[in-house]
Amino acid sequence: MADRVEALREGKDCMPELLEKEQKINSLRRQLSTEKTSNNSLKEDNNVLILELAMANEKLKNLQSKQNRKEEEE
């Protein structure tokens, strides 16, 4: 930080450094935002799959119950 202050006092331009760092920060923020969106999408997909699995499991239980009753009747 002190070297930046000294550079400013001497009239040297340190803006390219700052702009480069700001661009890097903005790039990382965009990347993070994209990853968060992707993660949220994956969570939604997982929730749908969990619900579908629960429904399929319930159907299987019902079929097994029907099969068991049918076997008991025979």
Output the six-digit token pair for 8: 């400013």
Which pLDDT belongs to residue 17? Answer: 80
Q: What per-residue confidence (pLDDT) applies to 19?
A: 81
Per-residue pLDDT of the chain (74 residues; tens, 9 = 90+): 677 677 666 766 667 788 889 999 999 999 999 999 999 999 999 999 999 999 999 999 999 999 999 888 87
pLDDT at 1: 63
pLDDT in tens, 22-42: 999 999 999 999 999 999 999
Opening angle at CA 46, ends 41 and 47, nearest 5: 100
